[in-house]
Homo-oligomer: A and B are copies of this chain.
Amino acid sequence: MSSNKEPMELHGQNIIGNETSAQGKKTYTAFDPRQGRPLTQEFVNATPEEIDRALSLAEQAFHDYRKCSSSDIAAFLETIATEILNLGDQLIETASAESGLTAERLIGERARTTNQLRMFAGLVREGSWVDARIDRAQPDRKPLPKVDLRRILIPIGPVIVFGASNFPLAFSVAGGDTASALAARNPVIVKVHPAHPATSELVARALQKAIHDCQMPAGVFSLLHGETAEISIALVRHPLAKAVGFTGSQTAGRALFDAASQRPEPIPVYAEMGSVNPVFLLPGAVAERPEALAQGVKQSVTLGMGQFCTCPGLIVGMNLAPIGDSLRKQFAEAAPGTMLRPGILNAYQRGVEKLEQVAGVRSTRASTVSDAAKTEASPAVLETEAATFLANPELGHEVFGPSTVLVHCGSRAELEAVARHLEGSLTASVHGTDRDLAEHRTLIDILETKAGRLLFNGYPTGVEVCPSMNHGGPYPATSDVKFTSVGTAAIYRFARPICYQNFPQSLLPPELQDGNPANIWRTVDGTLTRDS
């Protein structure tokens, strides 16, 4: 780690392939949420011409990049990880200033980011993810001869990635979307989240260095600044864009989805839009360990000031009096904290106030936030009964931040009614004893249709990056329930099948050649094998 090296001087420009570009006149600055004041570095919004140039260059790069060998792609991803680490303390300090997140949290997030890049490098190097399938010719088959057919997944083309505000590293410039799109051999154009442009430029320059060192085509990566919805929509509408990765609010995600669906050639938008992440506390568990459950809930709700897609915004159960007592006590004393940016702070405060105004809802939060800069928010717990919850849909919508709604149910039927009433979520958690589970199979059945990940005796915050993770879920958690944005399966968002019929060996990719030179798992005549 090069913590003592000279810090990099920022240029604040768009990065288009190996060039910088600042044709536009409109600039913006980031904001230090802890200090409550704007930062000084100016960043230049991209113009329509710059957008077009980035996409054209990406399309051009695509034709070379998609022909790179698996080992070259893997080495490229690993070099990106190394170059991110080489940014040293400057990256952590910059990201902390722009997000209000602690250095400790950001060092952990950087490790996740570099691990993700290395995980996809490993996936690509092993190679079997391409789902190669070979059905050999049977020239003598009756009534018709069978042709030779070989299928593999190939990249789709330039991918637009929108950085998320709450993960300035792991869901941003070189985050999971970019890593999986690059791993599948697609060029990437990142639209910077305006909350952390300096962090974005640093990571983009690490990426540029990796591209240079690995001799990749320059257009494989561009970084564009854009404060306005117009710039985002123009990117999604560009005819050369082939897919979009997004993490953020439902409003923004849906706007991108709508723009993409209405193109002459529609393209997919993989929008992860967060969710309410219900936690069900079943009677046996509540009777057995009320204080532990209340503390676990409070910790999960307030972790990182609730600024996670998986923050549990809804706690549902029967006989919750002891849980309610404990949560009221804990939230009344909960420490206020800095939110990522003023817009998020305001939305959180308005969201909590809106719920507080619902008749039949009781709220508990620390009296007043007294920090001079007014950048801090108070965690809040709201309480209500099942009937009120069922009658007021807003109680089941996400409020991004450290609040949760405790729903008291009077019966199993009410508990199940609340579960059936839920919108799609990234996660659903159940705390219970063995006996609880035996009595609540119906609840589990309902939750299987509502969420992408089901947790038993756990809390949804903390998303492991691995092959079996599913970070996705029914709408509005995501715009496409079939895909995860975390873990190795995220690569399938950016690949599509192609089938070669009676093709000469020399024109087939190595993964489909008779000798299996890539040494991958393949389905040959219906049987999974690694044989040649």
The minimal Cβ–Cβ distance linking A50 to chain B, given in whole angstroms, is 24
Residue A464 CB within 8 A of the other chain = yes
Which residue on B lies nearest to A108, using beta carbons? Answer: B143
A296 at the interface (CB under 8 A from B): no
Q: Which residues of B contact A150 (CB under 8 A)?
A: 468
Q: Distance (Å) between the CB of A74 and the closest chain B CB?
A: 15
What 0/1 readout, one digit per residue, does chain A (350-392) give for beta carbons within 8 Å of chain B?
0000000000000000000000000000000000000000000
Q: How far is the CA of A475 from the CA of B128 in the complex (A)?
A: 27
Within 8 A of B (CB), among A254-304: 257-258, 261-262, 265-266, 268
Q: How far is the CA of A134 from the CA of B489 in the complex (A)?
A: 13
Give the complex CA separation of A56 and B146 in angstroms.
43
CB distance from A168 to the nearest CB of B (A): 21
With A266-B257, A434-B504, A437-B504 as given contacts, are A464 and B498 in contact (CB-CB < 8 Å)? no
Q: Is A458 in the interface zone, CB < 8 Å from B?
A: yes
* Pair B484/A497 contact, Cβ less than 8 Å: yes
Question: Which residues of A507-532 have CB atoms within 8 Å of chain B's CB atoms?
Answer: 507, 521, 523, 526, 528
Residue A172, interface by CB 8 Å:
no
Does A19 interact with chain B (Cβ within 8 Å)?
A: no
Asked if A498 contacts B154 (CB within 8 A), the reply is: no
Residues of B within 8 A of A444 (CB): 507
Residues of B within 8 A of A458 (CB): 147, 501-502
Q: Is A209 part of the contact surface with B, judged by Cβ < 8 Å?
A: no
Residue A144 lies at the interface, judged by CB distance under 8 Å to chain B: yes
Q: How far is the CA of A367 from the CA of B134 in the complex (A)?
A: 46
Pick from A456, A474, A497 the residue with the most CB of B within 10 Å.
A497
**Interface residues in A454-508 (C-beta closer than 8 Å to B):** 454-458, 462, 464, 466-470, 472, 474-476, 479-484, 489, 492, 495-504, 506-507
B452 touches A497 (CB 8 A): yes
CB-based contact B149/A464 at 8 Å: yes
Q: Is the CB of A502 within 8 A of B128?
A: no
> Once the chains bind, are B456 and A151 in contact (CB under 8 Å)?
no
B482 touches A496 (CB 8 A): yes
A468 engages B266 (CB within 8 Å): no
The answer to whether the Cβ of A63 comes within 8 Å of any Cβ in the partner chain is yes
Q: Are B499 and A453 neighbours in the complex by a CB distance under 8 Å?
A: yes
Q: Is the CB of B482 within 8 A of A497?
A: yes
Out of B149, B464, B472, B495, which one reaches A147, CB within 8 Å?
A: B464
Interface residues on A, range: 35 or more
Question: Which B residue sits closest to A134, measured CB to CB?
Answer: B468
Give the distance in Å from the alpha carbon of A336 to the alpha carbon of B24 in the complex: 62
User: Of B467, B492, B498, which contacts A523 at CB under 8 A?
Assistant: B467
Contact assessment for B146 and A502 in the assembled complex, using a CB-CB cutoff below 8 Å? no
**Are A476 and B265 in touch, CB under 8 angstroms?**
yes
Is residue A187 within 8 Å, beta carbon to beta carbon, of the partner chain? no
Contact of A72 with B by CB under 8 A:
no
Residues of B within 8 A of A497 (CB): 452, 470, 472, 482-484, 489
| Inter-subunit contact B453/A501 (CB<8 Å) | yes
Report the Cα distance A476→B265, complex, angstroms.
7
Q: How far is the CB of A506 from chain B (nearest CB, A)?
A: 8
Are the CB atoms of A146 and B464 closer together than 8 Å? yes
A288 to chain B, nearest CB (A): 16
23 A-B contact pairs sorted by A residue (CB < 8 Å): A128-B528, A147-B458, A151-B467, A151-B470, A151-B489, A156-B482, A257-B261, A258-B261, A261-B262, A266-B475, A268-B482, A437-B506, A437-B507, A448-B498, A456-B504, A457-B502, A458-B502, A467-B526, A468-B499, A481-B496, A482-B492, A482-B497, A521-B528
Taking A454-B500, A481-B496 as known contacts, 19 extra A-B pairs with beta carbons closer than 8 A to each other, sorted by chain A number, are A128-B528, A134-B468, A135-B469, A144-B462, A149-B466, A151-B467, A156-B481, A257-B261, A261-B262, A265-B424, A266-B475, A451-B498, A453-B499, A454-B501, A456-B507, A457-B502, A472-B496, A482-B496, A484-B497
Interface residues, chain A, with chain B CB atoms under 8 Å away:
63, 67, 128, 133-135, 144, 146-147, 149-151, 154, 156-157, 257-258, 261-262, 265-266, 268, 424, 434, 437, 444-445, 448-449, 451-458, 462, 464, 466-470, 472, 474-476, 479-484, 489, 492, 495-504, 506-507, 521, 523, 526, 528
10 closest A-B pairs by CB: A470-B499, A261-B261, A133-B468, A151-B468, A455-B501, A453-B499, A149-B468, A265-B475, A135-B466, A135-B468
